Amino acid sequence: HYSCNLSGEWSFFMLISGLFHSKQGKILEKLGLCSQLGFTRYMRQGKKLGEDPKLFIKDLQFGKVPVRIYQPRAPSAGRRRGVIYFHGGGWMFGSINSYEPICRYIARESESVVVSVEYRLAPEHTYPAQYEDCLTSTTHFMKTAEDYGVDPACIIISGDSAGGNLAAAVCQTLVGRPDLPKVHAQVLIYPCLQAIDFNLPSYQQNCAVPILFRERTAFYVLQYLKGDASFLEDVLEGCHMPVDVKLKFRKWLSADNIPKEFKVRGYKPKVPIQSSNEVYEAVKKICEPTFSPLLTEDAVVRQLPESFILTCEYDVLRDDALLYKKRLEDGGVPVTWYHIENGFHGIIRFTMDHGIFFISVQNMTYIALNKD
């Protein structure tokens, strides 16, 4: 377990920067000039950068899924480690272009071959399209790793936010694939891992903390699930799941499993509310482990690879990761946990040159170099 602090000045700058585009998009949509979704995508899309003196960069397709692969130019004495990266963005935003600086950074600093995946986005494409694209591209890479100078036994699956959700889901699925090499490690950066309970301590404490609000999180979940945000209030209040379903998952979702120090900023347990059958039928796929990896069975958890998890104190998703960390540790999986005590959601997009993101890259390298 490691922890660190980010200066108040940087925190303020990054929060203001993250909110600016969202406000602009709302104004332009009200003026009828463009949709907020379209504007936000445009502002976040990034662009492909020029040549990198240390990397070969190619755009390819892995099983019809667009990917960008980053290979170090320097000669290597043996096969390199491979890193598959699924970008964040609430399953609605982000691209291989917007994550170009991050993936270049990983490839250079860890001397790894990095594959960045351009999975389909909601609401145009709903669950399980994103998961399927990530699984397809990953299995393709694992089967052809040697073609890219990668050791098939040294592949790390990683992602942030929604990408962390996809990374966790893909890792769980690959546990049941004896025809493929075992995944060497997973790196989950403030992942979203469940959509049953939006009233965990971190959701209550950070409900209005930029850049990811509690309500916006549920909105993204529903867009991913079915392409619209109907039943948003039901989901936020916990009316989307029958009491018996909540009780079934309570052993994994209970706030009792979250350390006491994460409740000191306030937490009020919510009394279970009975759902309507209409709402449950519309959203019940939320319970599938490929949608909510925190809900997978113990038998799967016990087979998962060594894990690195990064959490931020001021992030609604903090407790998803803490609960998953406990499940992994209870299942005997080695976990390295890094907690940013005054960090917030999306922080790696702002801090690549200020030490925070390097922690994840360091751990990718450490895990890979210390393989069995």
Q: Residues 87, 140, 240, 345: which is the catalytic one? A: 345
* CA distance linking residue 84 with residue 349, whole number of Å: 17
Q: Which of 168, 118, 173 has its CA nearest to residue 308?
A: 168
* CA distance linking residue 321 with residue 353, whole number of Å: 25
Which residues, in sequence order, are bridge partners of residue 338?
Answer: 2, 310
Let me know: does 371 contact 154? Beta carbons within 8 Å.
yes
Q: Which of 155, 13, 170, 165 has its CA nearest to residue 88?
A: 165
234 is catalytic: no
* CA distance linking residue 158 with residue 177, whole number of Å: 18
Could you tell me the end-to-end alpha-carbon distance of the chain, in angstroms, rounded to an integer? 22
Hunting for tokens 């979203």 — which residue is that? 192
Q: Residues 161, 275, 292, 360: which is the catalytic one? A: 161
DSSP 314: E
Q: Which of 145, 147, 158 has its CA nearest to residue 103?
A: 158
DSSP 192: -
Let me know: does 127 contact 224? Beta carbons within 8 Å.
yes
- 56: Cα within 13 Å, side-chain hemisphere: 10
Hunting for tokens 């039901």 — which residue is that? 234
Query: ∠210-35-194 over CA atoms, to 5°?
Result: 45
Can you give the three-state secondary structure of 256-282, one letter per residue?
Answer: HHCCHHHCCCCCCCCCCCCCCHHHHHH
Say what angle helices 8-30 and 36-44 make with each other, to 10 degrees: 140
315 is catalytic: yes
Q: Residues 315, 319, 320, 360: which is the catalytic one? A: 315
Which residues, in sequence order, are bridge partners of residue 59?
Answer: 68
Query: ∠313-301-197 over CA atoms, to 5°?
Result: 45
The H or E element that residue 116 is part of is: strand 113-117
320 is catalytic: no
Most distant pair of Cα atoms in the chain: their distance? 61
> Which amino acids are annotated catalytic?
161, 315, 345
